[in-house]
Amino acid sequence: MKIFVDGNALLEHFEEQQDPILVADKPELSRQNIRRWLARYALLRDCTVVLVWETEDPDRVLPPSERFERVRVVNLPYGEEAVPEIAGPANRSAVAERTFVITDDHRLAEAVRRGRAALQEPAQFVRTARRTMGKSDEELAVEPDEKFTGLSEGEVNFWLDFFDQKE
């Protein structure tokens, strides 16, 4: 299963609900909380998530793509919209596997309806996710000590020792 998430719509939903677990004082912290929450959900459901953020600040520069466990985060440059970034890939993905799009953007919803991907409003998705996760799982959504990609410190030390011995 693959899930495409309109990050701005999901963040707006959590802010409207004044969610004590995910909404923080700073928007960037809320975004990180949502990313970790989705990663925990993806792990429990054995699925992958593509989280797409539209940038609302023209001076803000973020990496175009990041990976966090089973979540790929796409940070769109200022002025770009999530519709083409989500609708096309989601509908193509739906040919091979169950695919959901989480949004309340009417233009994105219309583009998704033309394909095979299933559509869910953020409120519906959150209810479903919370039934799956339970409160204790949500509280465990913390930053891991090691990142999903790259070598761990132990692996780096192993290879450093290995090549030092070859001389």
pLDDT in tens, 2-29: 999 999 999 999 989 888 778 888 888 8
**Running DSSP on this structure, what letter comes out for residue 167?**
-
Which stretches within 56-102 are classed as H helix? 82-96
**Running DSSP on this structure, what letter comes out for residue 56?**
-
Nearest to 85 by CA among 64, 114, 60: 64
Q: What is the mean pLDDT of residues 37-66?
A: 87
> Lowest-pLDDT range, 74-78, 111-115, 131-135?
131-135
Is the sign of the CA dihedral 80, 94, 138, 64 positive or negative? negative
d(CA 73, CA 48): 11
How much is the pLDDT for 139?
60
Q: The domain spanning residue 137 has which CATH number?
A: 3.40.50
Domain total of the chain:
1
Task: Give the structural domain span for 56.
Answer: 2-165
How much is the pLDDT for 25?
80
Q: Which residue has the higher pLDDT, 110 or 136?
A: 110
**Running DSSP on this structure, what letter comes out for residue 87?**
H
Mean pLDDT, the chain, whole residue set: 84
Q: What is the pLDDT of residues 76-104, one digit of tens each?
A: 888 888 898 999 999 888 988 999 999 99
Residue 47: CB atoms within 10 A of its CB come to 16
How much is the pLDDT for 140?
46
Q: Supply the DSSP string of 108-141, one letter for each residue.
A: HHHHHHTSS-EEE-HHHHHHHHHHHHHHHHHHT-
